Amino acid sequence: MSDTISFHVHGAIAEAVVDNPPVNATSASVRQGLAEAIRKVEADPQLSALVIRCVGKTFIAGADIKEFGKPMADPQLPALLELMDHATKPIVAAVHGTVLGGGFEVALACHYRIALGDTKFGFPEVKLGIVPGAGGTQRTPRLAGLETTIKLTTEGGQIDAAKALADSLIDRIADSGDLAAAALAYAQQLVDEGKGPRSAGALPMPADDPALFEEARKALSRKMRGQSAPLRILDAIRLGYELDFDAALMRELDLCRESIAGPQSKALRHMFAAERDVARVPDLPADTATRPVERVGVIGLGAMGRGIVMAMASAGMPVIAVGLDDGHVAAAMKAIGKMWSSSVAKGSLTQGAMDKRLALIATSDDPRDLGAANLVIEAVTENLNVKKAVFATLGQVTQPGTILASNTSFLNIDALADASGRPEDVCGMHFFNPAHIMRLLENVRAAKTDPEVVATIMALGKRIGKLSVLSGVCDGFIVNRMLSKRSREAFFLVEEGASPAAIDKILLSYGFPMGPFALGDLAGLDVQAAARLARAANATERELRADFVEQMVADGRTGQKTGSGWYSYDENRKASPNPQTDAMIAAHAERHGLTLRDIGEDEIRERLLYAMVNEGAKLLDEGIAPRPQEIDVAMVNGLGWPNYTGGPMFWADQIGLDKVLATIERFRAQQGDAYWTPAPLLVKHAKAGRGFYA
């Protein structure tokens, strides 16, 4: 046996036990050991059946991602599963934990399956841009039918043991928690009853349903827009109707290999790794102590403050919610109750769970009540003087060592730290709106932030289900600083002749969920105008001139909430072209003597995206972002940069930084140094022929 497989004999039943921590991946040694176990059972007339199970927290939870893109040692997984298909003695999979991807395919290739009651099953390959390659698209429909197969393989979600049993993906749920004993007893029962091997490949495909495939294709094209793997998986499932089982398996494997070699899978695998990398702060020792956080305070109960309260309570954290006065507190709690009640009505939250969350929230209009909190998050209006006054108060009313965090999206946290009188306790925790839903948390380390504070807020982010990325202090941190450059170019492009609808359409086709103008209407143009005002002192004359947002706000047009902004909106907030916008742009051009021109799609796309890449390079140069991983993870999860491109810095590497630099230099000649001076790091890497990730 290999070093990851142990072989045991219990009378007539053999047992192959996988021990390949942390997730028992189908590494080469696992494949080799299982193949040897099968051959051993086949060759021994005293053995009548084989049980395959795993030690640790889970059954095989997928392939070994480190093997992707490299020559794989034999036997490869399809060859191992072919051995199972042709075995002459029954093979029983005893599964627990999370049975995913290649591990699920191993279980399905076994002849019988017994599971613990809390086991989960799924095919997450699609999330890495990969088509299942070891029979997932062929054995699953023969056992469970088309509807379950399509949902499992194309969406990447999981089902529980009860659903798997109902869909014939497993045969039995173990009555007790002793899976090993239950599996051996089940195998012995099969032998006693004369049950032989039972290959899923010998079963017929379910009745074809072209309408179901077409409906799935349309739904996936909307839900997972731009991604190729879900549609390829549908093609793979259909192979079962076009080829015999063995030929379908071979073609499925071809599709799997093609998808792994493709750019989307490389990008998605990069994102998978990057999301794990950002949890480890490069210059923060792994053993850095964290401060206890047993109760969180939130001061400021507008939209962001309410969302933060909800995020904390949803994670089981007791919260002290402090508002300006009784009226503000009551309005906030009413809004929170309304949002959770909506979830209850939709069935995504039980009334009991809602009641538990509400019970965790204590309210007050007196900041002194925050003295009981270990962490206080400030979410008052985006005005530096107002926030400085709040931090001065927090420095006095909270206990020494209490972490004081600001949810500001762009203001100077060092100034807030100084105002508190306890700068070592101050940091940024920038949630994204809506805070109880958006996954990204931009944690900000100020100049004097204690390392314990950094370690604590990074750990807390994980505790409340957020994806934490660390940034340094600058205007806008990572996401909003980069977004501001896209907004700048979008406004300039409108001044030069591109329509807002054309700009939005180009970013939609690239893969963003919406373009800058639809996003502005959704967030509120009054909010955008306030942000522009706060930054006006550092804006150029041209940036101030492109005052479209201010013009619309002055006219009472603030976006979706008023039914008019860049677009017009009906009672259902469905957008349509807005003649007032066209008139505003024409009048603006005439007033400032601007000549409008036709602008091609490539120029629009490159100006919007390369402006962000260039700013990302500056963030790295300045040490605001410790690595390109932080930028890619933040932009994908905070702005909706399409994950299947890998994020802006990875995407730029794939294009080639020499080509990116050449285009930026062209824009520099056209638009001026103020907007298109290339980042020194970009120039350095481009000249060296390397990328941000080299």
- For the segment 139-159, the average pLDDT, to the nearest whole number, is 96
Give the separation between CA 119 and CA 95, rounded to whole angstroms: 7
Per-residue pLDDT band for 535 (boundaries 50, 70, 90) equals: confident
Does the pLDDT of residue 271 top 80, yes or no? Answer: yes
Q: Give the distance from CA 595 to its chain's centroid.
A: 42
430 carries an active-site annotation: yes
Per-residue pLDDT, 382: 87
Does the pLDDT of residue 65 top 80, yes or no? Answer: no
Per-residue pLDDT, 70: 63
Q: Which DSSP string do the residues of 495-560 spell out, in sequence order?
A: HHT--HHHHHHHHHHHT-SS-HHHHHHHH-HHHHHHHHHHTGGG--HHHHH--HHHHHHHTT--BG
Inter-residue contact 73 to 53 (CB < 8 Å)? no
Helix (H), strand (E) at residue 336: helix 326-346
Per-residue pLDDT, 1: 65
Helices 146-155/210-223 angle, 10° precision? 20
Burial class (CB in 10 A: 0-12, 13-18, 19+), 338: exposed
Per-residue pLDDT band for 394 (boundaries 50, 70, 90) equals: very high
Per-residue pLDDT band for 61 (boundaries 50, 70, 90) equals: confident
Q: Which of 572, 574, 521 is nearest to 548 (CA)?
A: 521
Per-residue pLDDT, 694: 83
592 carries an active-site annotation: no
Q: How does strand 319-322 pair with strand 361-364?
A: parallel
- For the segment 25-53, the average pLDDT, to the nearest whole number, is 94
Q: Which of 24, 409, 578, 637 is catalytic?
A: 409
Give the separation between CA 362 and CA 299, rounded to whole angstroms: 12
pLDDT digits 0-9 by tens, 464-503:
999 999 999 999 999 999 999 999 999 999 999 999 999 9
Helix (H), strand (E) at residue 380: none
Give the separation between CA 365 and CA 297, rounded to whole angstroms: 12
- For the segment 114-119, the average pLDDT, to the nearest whole number, is 96
Q: Which of 96, 111, 270, 430 is catalytic?
A: 430
Q: What is the mean pLDDT of the chain?
A: 94
Give the separation between CA 304 and CA 485, rounded to whole angstroms: 24
Inter-residue contact 59 to 53 (CB < 8 Å)? yes
Q: Which of 252, 275, 378, 442 is catalytic?
A: 442
The sheet carrying 49-54 orders its strands as 5-10, 13-18, 49-54, 91-95, 112-115, 172-173
Give 171's contacts (C-beta < 8 A, 6+ positions apart): 112, 113, 114, 165
Per-residue pLDDT, 68: 65
Does the pLDDT of residue 67 top 80, yes or no? Answer: no
Inter-residue contact 446 to 624 (CB < 8 Å)? no
Burial class (CB in 10 A: 0-12, 13-18, 19+), 323: buried
Give the separation between CA 174 and CA 189, rounded to whole angstroms: 14
Per-residue pLDDT band for 531 (boundaries 50, 70, 90) equals: confident
Q: Which of 480, 487, 614, 637 is catalytic?
A: 480
228 carries an active-site annotation: no
Does the pLDDT of residue 509 top 70, yes or no? Answer: yes
Does the pLDDT of residue 71 top 80, yes or no? Answer: no
322: which strand partners? 299, 364
Domains belonging to the chain, first-starting first, are 5-261 (3.90.226.10), 296-476 (3.40.50.720), 480-592 (1.10.1040.10), 601-688 (1.10.1040.10)
- For the segment 667-682, the average pLDDT, to the nearest whole number, is 95
480 carries an active-site annotation: yes
Q: Which of 59, 19, 11 is nearest to 187 (CA)?
A: 11
What pTM was estimated for this model as a whole? 0.91
- For the segment 131-145, the average pLDDT, to the nearest whole number, is 96
pLDDT digits 0-9 by tens, 343-366:
999 999 999 999 999 999 999 999
Give the separation between CA 95 and CA 117, rounded to whole angstroms: 10
Does the pLDDT of residue 621 top 90, yes or no? Answer: yes
- For the segment 604-616, the average pLDDT, to the nearest whole number, is 98
% of residues, the chain, pLDDT over 70: 99
Beta strands in 78-231 (DSSP E): 91-95, 98-100, 112-115, 120-122, 158-160, 172-173
Distances (CA, A) of 331 to 301, 302, 323, 360: 9, 9, 10, 18
